[in-house]
Amino acid sequence: MRVVQKFGGSSVADAASIKRVAQRIVDAQAQGNEVVVIVSAMGDTTDELLDLAQQVSPQPRPRELDMLLTAGERMSAALLAMAINDLGYTARSFTGSQAGVITTEKHGDARIIDITPGRIETALGEGDVVIVAGFQGVSQTTKDVTTLGRGASDTTAVALAAALGAGYCEIYSDVDGVFTADPRIVPGAQRIPEISYDEMLELAANGAKILHLRCVEYARRENVEVHVRSSFSTKPGTWVKHISEEESVENPIITGIAHDRSEAKVTVVGVPDRVGAAADVFDTVAAVGVNIDMIVQNVSVADNTTAISFTLPQADGPRAIAALEAARERIGFTSTEYDDHVGKVSVVGVGMRSHPGVSATCFRALAAADINIAMISTSEIRISVVVDVDDVDAAVRACHTAFGLDSEGQAVVYAGTGR
């Protein structure tokens, strides 16, 4: 069988780790598989390179930043190939560009548009283990090297698994799989043996960092089964896959709880109650390229104005506020408020489609823990609340307990970075 394995930064953090991982790869090859490995940069290399760039230049050109960052993955790929060669197997490392990862031209956040794995096929045909540097490709138009966004080696792995027709894609990090909540917050969190693409997408989109969001989107679209597991143990991890309606009735109503401390809340006060006011507010924010998440509009008060609150990534807060303030007179609102002392807690599970009372259980649990809810939003399989950032941990624990997800044992956290 053809297998694709991806090793995160914590699995290749130093020479000893690289040798350990090499042995694991060779074992898969010795069992008669064709093995393609995608590797992240060693340990904190990407952060260190970003830091170094900052010291040299406060505003580096994105093209040069991508040239710099892709070097991290190139190092670990070459080192891993050396370690495999020393175990008596032949391995060949490739940059993303050499591996045929074709992307859009946007530096730092390029999208994969095609994979042309000719060189990988040739190397596999010659019996080599193939090692590919993750998180990078080459732009079709500019011919420049691009990166795919932080954490995107997961996406490289799934894209290659799809292009190569692999049986499945293994994603190795330093945790045993996807858990019902972050084990550092909930010691009784449990490993989820299998999870549907839709639920994994909701968890990844709402703060679970174990898998890159676009990797899950890709896997769902191409129907690639993903096995998320630890390179520090041989235990089974979590299978992310298609789960039929009949199979899912056996599963718990709620699959997991995600949390996110990276958002902020903007409130636009005194918005005139007229047709098109909300459109004006959100046009203004969209025009500066800010993606928003939750929205709440209050009912009109006596003076015919309303307040509109929304959440957005903290990094985009200043830009959104500046744009809104510049449009204040034209739109006719009174003022803006900005609060980055917030967090979002999301309860996810396909079971809530067919079970009443899930919202009530969630809000009752938060009330019992004395937690005030600032905003609420839902999808068919998710309920999210915005709370004070200091209440996030307690809110995650309250929901985890309320939906019966607590286990007796303690989750094992090897290093716990999830890289």
- Tallying the residues shown for the chain, one arrives at 419
SS3 at position 346: strand
d(CA 109, CA 69): 12
In 273-356, where do the E strands start and end?
295-297, 305-313, 335-339, 342-348
Q: Which residue is nearest to Mg ion (CB)?
A: 151
In angstroms, give the least distance from the CB of 35 to ligand ASP. 19
Using the contact rule CB under 5 A, the part of the chain among 15-23, 148-156, 189-197, 290-298 near Mg ion is 148-156
Q: Which is nearer to Mg ion, 123 or 161 (CB)?
A: 161
- Check residue 328 for interaction with ligand ASP (CB under 6 A): no
- Please report whether residue 151 would count as binding Mg ion according to CB under 5 A: yes
Name residues whose C-beta falls within 8 Å of residue 195's C-beta, 6 or more positions apart in sequence.
Answer: 178, 203, 238, 239, 240, 241, 243, 255, 256
Q: Which of residues 5-34 bind ligand ASP (CB under 6 A)?
A: 9
Instruction: Return the DSSP state at 298.
Output: P
Contact segment (CB under 5 A) with Mg ion among 151-159, 227-235, 349-357, 384-392 equals 151-159
Sheet order of strands, 342-348 included:
256-260, 342-348, 382-388, 375-379
Residue 134 interacts, among ligand ASP, Mg ion, none and using kind-specific CB cut-offs from 5 to 8 Å, with: ligand ASP
The least CB distance from residue 384 to ligand ASP, in Å, is 25
Query: Is residue 218 involved in binding ligand ASP (CB under 6 A)?
Result: no
Least distance to ligand ASP, CB of residue 135, Å: 4
**Residue nearer to Mg ion on the CB measure, 72 or 151:** 151
Query: Interface with Mg ion includes 177 (CB under 5 A)?
Result: no
Q: Does 117 interact with Mg ion (rule: CB under 5 A)?
A: no
The reply to whether 230 sits near ligand ASP by the rule CB under 6 A is no
Min. distance of Cβ 176 from Mg ion in angstroms?
15
Residue 135 vs 168, nearer CB to ligand ASP: 135
Per rule CB under 6 A, is residue 43 in the interface with ligand ASP?
Answer: no
Phi-psi category of residue 140: left, alpha or beta, with phi > 0 → left and psi -120 to 50 → alpha: alpha
Q: Which does 17 bind (CB under 5 to 8 A by kind): ligand ASP, Mg ion, none?
A: none
Rounded to 10°, the helix 62-86/45-56 angle is 140
* 310 is a site residue for ligand ASP (CB under 6 A): no
Identify residue 60 by its one-letter amino acid code.
Answer: P
Question: Would you count residue 76 as binding ligand ASP (CB under 6 A)?
Answer: no
- Whole-number minimum distance, CB 75 to ligand ASP, in Å? 11
| Angstrom distance (rounded) from CA 81 to CA 26 | 11
Q: How far is the CB of 231 from Mg ion (least distance, A)?
A: 13
> Please, what is the minimum distance in Å from the beta carbon of residue 288 to ligand ASP?
25
Return the range that interacts with ligand ASP (CB under 6 A); candidates 39-47, 111-119, 246-254, 331-339.
Answer: 39-47
Selected binder of ligand ASP within 12, 22, 72, 100 (CB under 6 A): 72
Total of residues contacting Mg ion (CB under 5 A): 1
Q: Does 153 bind ligand ASP (CB under 6 A)?
A: yes
- C-alpha to C-alpha distance for 305 and 334, rounded to whole angstroms: 9
Structure tokens at 211: 């898998």
SS3 content of the chain, % helix, strand, coil (to 5): 40, 25, 35
How many whole angstroms separate alpha carbon 89 and alpha carbon 26? Answer: 7
Q: What's the CA gap between 54 and 72, in Å, rounded?
A: 16
Nearer to ligand ASP among residue 152 and residue 366 (C-beta): 152
Residue 210 vs 352, nearer CB to Mg ion: 210
> What amino acid is encoded at 229 in this protein?
R
Residue 171 binding ligand ASP, by CB under 6 A: no
| Binding of residue 72 to Mg ion (CB under 5 A) | no
CB 135 within 8 A of CB 40: yes
State the Rg of the chain over Cα: 23
Q: Is there binding between residue 317 and ligand ASP (CB under 6 A)?
A: no
End-to-end CA distance of the chain: 26
Should residue 248 be labelled a site residue for ligand ASP when binding is judged by CB under 6 A?
no
Cα–Cα distance for residue pair 210/196, rounded to 1 Å:
15
From candidates 40, 139, 190, 306, binder to ligand ASP by CB under 6 A: 40
The three-state secondary structure class of 320 is helix
Residues at the site binding ligand ASP, with contacts judged by CB under 6 A: 9, 40-41, 46, 72, 134-135, 150-153
